[in-house]
Amino acid sequence: MDIRHLRYFVTVAEHGSITRAAEALGMEQPPLSQQIRQMERDLGVVLFERQTRGVRLTDIGQALLPRARTILDMQAQFLSTAQELARGEAGHIRMGLAGAVPLLPVIPLTIRRFREMAPNVTLSLEESNTPALCAALHEHAIDLAIIRPPAPDPARLSVFHLLDEPTVIALPRGHRLTTRPVISLDMVADEPLIIFARELGPGFHDAILSAYQSAGVTPVIGQQAPQIAGTVPLVAAGLGVSVVPRSLSQIHTGGVTFHGISAPAPRATLAVAIRAGQNMPLVTRLVHVLRSACKAWEKRLAAESFFETE
Amino acid sequence: MDIRHLRYFVTVAEHGSITRAAEALGMEQPPLSQQIRQMERDLGVVLFERQTRGVRLTDIGQALLPRARTILDMQAQFLSTAQELARGEAGHIRMGLAGAVPLLPVIPLTIRRFREMAPNVTLSLEESNTPALCAALHEHAIDLAIIRPPAPDPARLSVFHLLDEPTVIALPRGHRLTTRPVISLDMVADEPLIIFARELGPGFHDAILSAYQSAGVTPVIGQQAPQIAGTVPLVAAGLGVSVVPRSLSQIHTGGVTFHGISAPAPRATLAVAIRAGQNMPLVTRLVHVLRSACKAWEKRLAAESFFETE
DNA sequence: CATGAGGCATACGTACTACATATGGCAATT
DNA sequence: AATTGCCATATGTAGTACGTATGCCTCATG
């Protein structure tokens, strides 16, 4: 028995007549009679009671009819779901976020907008560090990650630039420089630099140290934080200063003030990474949405700083 | 797409290899490759990512796999349910009961035993009068009825005798005869006879009147009750006497006493009726169970009355 | 580097089967 | 009695699912 037989069964039951069901199905009466009989033989069950005027469901047929309808409905759902998946209108995305990424408003706002665009899509979010996210991508544990480039193994990944975020210096309350809105790195070169472990985000880590070097100073490395955002409380505790993405200034934890960095300032880069072979339309769509949203965000940011510096 | 494709899809997904899935399915590799490809063409979706070592589900395939399994499970359920229905192990029976039948313990006990024998069977019960039950049978509104014969239209029904129940006389409290355990009909011939409307059960109605005639008297017809069991409250209200199945003496409503009837006594006959064409195994089984249970009940009753009269 | 093995895709022939056409049988209606 | 409506049966045909043979690619091995 296959789905065609179920369709025939339901149609005949609905029309109460093999002849009329046949024309509804776009076929002739004899083959439909045959198929019904064959289905009855296969099941070992009499579905219809043949009468002089059409056919009539037996009690067994009556009991089986709703089940047949259910299977047909599920098959139709299967087909439409396949279409939706193909068009990227449904499915599930497991998404990974590098440290402190959710604090940058453009990211959660874009994710939210994407969920509104594709309501049949379910998303699961996970926050981790860049190397772990890339490993998770390779292991198919996640489908998409927002990382701080470069990826450790860019060969089998596709990485697309999202944005360059300015960085700020975090100073403890009462620091001698808290009155100045903008600070240069050489002014804090002798204060311990609280920075996250390099393996949590090699790219951003190196960008910070390079900026120090460009400023002609060498930082004193203080305590290492287990996460990128984890440096802020250490600064608040007075263990030193830190350089963090500007979005971290959202954290209004007491005891810390944030100050702009005059050139040469490091920048915190974000990128979206997917597996190179990834062709799931849903993921492609999300990547596209993220890229265009971040492009607009960078443009707005440039305009703002233009007015600021003028 | 039909069920075979779903089975192929699931099997290949489970084995991660077309070749191994093919041998699990008892077929060769090339046709299975073809069928998978055709399914992908039909759906417009790539289900598997072909690798050098077997195949691997795409994300879309991953999302569709559980749905395919569900459809296969439902199809298996459909087949097994059909078998159960054919063997009378599952299904639904709509049962009609004539007036006061549930009061005869053998009936509810037998129904209960049947439900224990066939736990996948659901039963719906309905109490009505004999002519209405026969009409309901004809209209396929119920599948089986316990009636008080004869059926009004026995031609298209199969009616099987169940039992002959003795009848008793119901007397109002304080009646002059309440001290006598057994009464003959001629002793109450001048009291108004409370009886149910003849159309509610012509057979039983006529049996009562015939018994009066055999006793050489003519009853004075009193108020008509809308149900067979409805006569008892009227007797309690002092409107007359009534002849009812002995099982009604279960009703311990105050104000009424029940007394045996000496010959010639009417008997309340019960029978089970099904549509003549009815071949639903479940119904046949229930009819069989009812008949054998009532046969045993009659035998026990005969033994009891034997000891009583001895 | 060459060779072999494992696995999927392609090509082609075959057998099955679902369908159409033609016709028969049966009951109800006129 | 004739007719009509509807299901069943008989037979031919086309489409298709499957088997066999083979090719191509990648990875492992001498």
Over residues B258-295, the pLDDT tens digits come to 999 988 889 999 999 998 877 788 899 999 999 999 99
Mutate to test the interface with A, among B60, B138, B156, B284 (most CBs of A within 10 A): B60
Q: What is the tens place of the pLDDT at every residue in B11-25?
A: 999 999 999 999 999
Q: What are the start and end residues of each CATH 3.40.190.10 domain in chain A?
A: 90-162+270-309, 164-268
Interface mutation vs chain B, best among A38, A74, A75, A93, most B CBs within 10 Å: A75
Nucleic strand C under 7 Å from the C-beta of A51: no
* CATH classification number, B163-268, choose in 3.40.190.10, 3.90.1640.10, 1.20.1260.10, 3.90.198.10: 3.40.190.10
Mean pLDDT confidence for B179-208: 90
- Quote the pLDDT of residue A309: 47
Cβ-Cβ contacts under 8 Å for B90 (sequence gap 6 or more): A63, B81, B84, B118, B120, B121, B282
DSSP assignment of B110-135 equals: HHHHHHHH-TEEEEEEEE--HHHHHH
Q: Any residues with CB less than 8 A from the CB of B236 and at least 6 apart, and which?
A: B172, B173, B253, B254, B255, B256
Residue B220 has a pLDDT of 86
pLDDT at B68: 93
The chain B residue lying nearest A7, using CA atoms, is B2
> If you count residue pairs, one on A and one on B, with CB atoms under 8 Å apart, how many are there?
103
Q: Quick one: pLDDT band at residue A310, thresholds 50, 70, 90? A: very low
Euclidean distance between CA atoms A104 and A251, whole angstroms: 11
Options 3.40.50.720, 3.40.190.10, 3.40.50.300, 3.40.50.970; which CATH number does A90-162+270-309 get? 3.40.190.10
For residue range B50-99, list pLDDT tens digits in order: 988 889 998 889 889 999 999 999 999 999 999 988 888 888 899 999 98
Amino acid A52 CA to nucleotide C27 C1' distance, rounded Å: 6
Closest CA to B271 of B177, B145, B172: B145
> pLDDT value at position A177?
87
User: A64–B85: do the CB atoms touch at under 8 Å?
Assistant: yes
Q: What is the pLDDT of residue B303?
A: 81
D25 C1' to A288 CA distance, Å: 34
Residue A269 has pLDDT above 70, yes or no: yes
pLDDT tens, A132-149? 999 888 888 899 999 998
Classify domain A164-268 at the CATH topology level. D-Maltodextrin-Binding Protein; domain 2 (3.40.190)
So what's the pLDDT on residue B306? Answer: 62
- CB under 8 Å, gap of 24 or more: what pairs does B40-47 form? B42/B1, B42/B5, B43/A79, B43/A82, B43/A83, B43/A86, B43/B1, B44/A82, B44/A83, B44/A86, B45/A82, B45/A83, B45/A85, B45/A86, B46/A279, B47/B9, B47/B13
Query: What is the DSSP code (8-state) at residue A252?
Result: -
- Strand C reaches within 7 A of the A28 CB: yes
Query: What Å value separates CA B27 and C1' C20?
Result: 31
Distance from CA of B128 to the nearest CA of A (A): 22
Closest residue to A64, CB basis, from B59, B78, B282: B78
Domain boundaries for CATH 3.40.190.10 within chain B = 92-157+274-309, 163-268
Q: Model confidence at B40, in pLDDT bands (50, 70, 90)?
A: very high
Average pLDDT over residues B200-206: 90
Contact A277 B67 (CB under 8 A): no
* Geometric angle at alpha carbon A153, from A166 and A288, rounded to 5°: 55
Please tell me whether the peptide bond between A181 and the residue prior to it is cis, using omega within 30 degrees of 0. Answer: no
Radius of gyration of chain A (CA): 31
Determine contact, residues B170/B206, Cβ cutoff 8 Å. no
Give percent of chain A above pLDDT 90: 58
For residue A306, the model assigns a pLDDT of 61
How far apart, in whole angstroms, are the C-alpha atoms of residue A193 and residue A240? 6
Kindly determine whether the C-beta of residue B50 is less than 7 Å away from any atom of nucleic acid strand C: yes
| B171 sits in which H/E element | strand B157-172
- Mapped onto helix, strand or coil, the DSSP state of residue B49 is strand
Q: With contact defined as beta carbons under 8 Å apart, do B57 and B65 qualify?
A: yes
Question: Which residues 76-135 of B are in CB contact (within 8 Å) with A?
Answer: 77-79, 81-83, 85-86, 90-92
Q: How confident is the model at residue B138 (pLDDT cuts 50, 70, 90)?
A: confident
Residue A293 reports pLDDT greater than 80: yes
Find, among A59, A163, A169, the residue nearest to A104 by Cα.
A163
Tokens of A268: 């915190």
The alpha-carbon radius of gyration of chain B (Å, integer) is 31
Are β-strands B256-261 and B182-183 bridged in parallel, bridged antiparallel, or unpaired?
parallel
Q: Please state the rounded mean pLDDT for residues B148-164.
A: 87
Q: Tell if the CB–CB gap between B280 and A60 is shorter than 8 Å.
A: yes
Straight-line distance from CA B192 to C1' C21, in Å? Answer: 75
List, for residues A201-253, the tens digit of each pLDDT value.
Answer: 899 999 999 999 988 898 888 888 888 888 888 998 889 999 999 998 877 77
Q: Which residue has the tokens 């209405």?
A: B132
CA–CA distances in Å: residue A205 to residues A39, A226, A241, A251: 69, 13, 15, 21
Per CATH, the architecture of B3-87 is what?
Answer: Orthogonal Bundle (1.10)
Note which residues in 5-34 of chain A have CB less than 8 A from chain B: 6
A18 in contact with nucleic chain D (CB within 7 A): yes
Closest residue to C23 (CA, C1′)? A30
Which among A2, A45, A68 has the least Cβ separation from residue B86? A45
> Is B11 near strand C, with its CB below 7 A from some atom of it?
no
Which phi and psi (to 5°) does residue A127 adopt? -105, 130
- In this complex, the nucleotide whose C1' atom is nearest to the CA atom of residue B19 is C7
Prediction pTM value: 0.74
Q: Name the CA dihedral angle for B223, B228, B233, B234, rounded to a multiple of 10 degrees.
A: 10
For A85, the closest of B60, B68, B283 (CB atoms) is B60
Mean pLDDT along residues B177-182: 88
Give residue B308's pLDDT.
54
Q: With 0-12 CB in 10 A as exposed, 13-18 as middle and 19+ as buried, what is B273?
A: buried
**Which position has the token pair 């459909």?**
B78
> What one-character-per-residue DSSP string does B181-203 give?
SEE-GGGGTTSEEEEE-GGG-HH
Burial of B279 (0-12, 13-18, 19+ CB in 10 A): middle
Q: What pLDDT does residue A22 have?
A: 94
Q: Which bases of chain D are under 7 A from a protein CB atom?
A: 5-10, 17-22, 25-27
The DSSP output letter for A237 is T
Question: CATH 1.10.10.10: which residues of chain A?
Answer: 3-87
Q: Is A65 on the interface with B (CB under 8 A)?
A: no
In this predicted structure, what is the pLDDT of residue A307?
Answer: 57
Residue A300 neighbours by CB under 8 Å, 6+ apart: none
Q: How far apart are CA A271 and CA A138, in angstroms?
A: 17
Nearest to A70 among B1, B74, B91 (CB): B74
What is the band of B310 on the pLDDT scale with cuts at 50, 70, 90? very low
Phi first, then psi: give them for residue A111, nearest 5 degrees.
-60, -40
Measured from the CB, is B216 under 7 Å from any atom of strand D? no
pLDDT of residue A308: 53
Instruction: State chain B's mean pLDDT as an integer.
Output: 89
**Structure tokens belonging to residue B31:** 């046709």
Rounded Cα distance, B110 and B117, in Å:
10
- pLDDT value at residue A91: 87
pLDDT digits (tens, 9 = 90+) for B214-252: 888 888 888 888 888 888 888 988 889 999 999 988 777
Looking at CA atoms only, how far is residue A91 from chain B in angstroms? 7
Q: State which CATH number among 3.40.50.2000, 3.40.190.10, 3.40.50.300, 3.90.550.10 fits the domain covering B92-157+274-309.
A: 3.40.190.10
* pLDDT score recorded for residue A168: 93
Say what angle helices A59-87 and B29-43 make with each other, to 10 degrees.
Answer: 80
At A66-89, the pLDDT tens digits run 999 999 999 999 999 999 988 888
Proximity of residue A39 CB to strand C below 7 A: no
